[in-house]
Amino acid sequence: MLDKSKTYLIVGLGLLGGKYAQVLSQKGYNVTGITHSQSTLDYALQHGYIRAGKNADFEDLVREADCIIFGLYPTVLLDWVKQYGQLIRPGTMVTDVSGVKRGVVEPVQAALPEGVEFIASHPMAGRETSGIAHSAEVNFAPANFIITPTEKNSQAGIDWCRDLAAELGFKRISVLTPAEHDHMIGYVSQLCHAIAVSLMC
């Protein structure tokens, strides 16, 4: 079970980050948020998705977080961790929503301070829409949630990520290596997009 006394920081309040914030807040968790857009921040605050949030000077929110969820694109995630990762306290559990793992997981794990555990995951619940205003339309229940640990992850970290997925409402939770994840997603997701675009063209 997740600990409701802890603070859950969502970095990136887009479609999936916004949905994470919405569900966790509705279930009584203490959720804060960081996003680059003032309009997104206003929406999240007005709809009760987060208790507090910032789009600048957010170092205090990072230091106060017990758990961090990155709702960022892979390249943005790598840049963010390089710039602000040192602010994360030892003992913090960290995960993401990225659909690509190789080239992301190991660099993020290497960049974070000692004692911070990054346990990567992929909620396969994207839509054709984007942005926090559409996050309420996302339904996690029929979607797959994939946890992609490495040898640097503990069983406690994997269990925490599994508990997070269950609390969010995912019914199908799997554990794969980052390489297995990318190999599978390349066929069942990315290839389908490529075929669809080809047909449209």
129 vs 85: which has the higher pLDDT: 85
Percentage of the chain modeled with pLDDT above 70: 95
Task: For residues 153-168, give the mean pLDDT.
Answer: 97
| Mean pLDDT estimate for the chain | 93
Neighbours of 104 (CB within 10 A): 24
Q: 9-24, pLDDT tens digit by residue?
A: 999 999 999 999 999 9
Reported pTM:
0.91
**Is residue 186 scored above 70 in pLDDT?**
no
Neighbours of 187 (CB within 10 A): 9
Percentage of the chain modeled with pLDDT above 90: 82
CATH topology of domain 7-200: Rossmann fold (3.40.50)
**Is residue 175 scored above 80 in pLDDT?**
yes
**Cα separation, 25 vs 32, whole angstroms:** 9
Residue ranges per domain, the chain?
Answer: 7-200
Half-sphere exposure of 62 (CA within 13 A, CB side): 20
| Whether the Cβ atoms of residue 118 and residue 81 lie closer than 8 Å to each other | no
pLDDT of residue 195: 73
**Is residue 68 scored above 90 in pLDDT?**
yes
pLDDT of residue 34: 98
What stretches of the chain adopt beta strand conformation (E)?
Answer: 7-11, 30-34, 52-54, 67-70, 93-96, 117-118, 120-124, 144-148, 172-175
Strands 120-124 and 172-175: unpaired
**Cα separation, 198 vs 15, whole angstroms:** 26
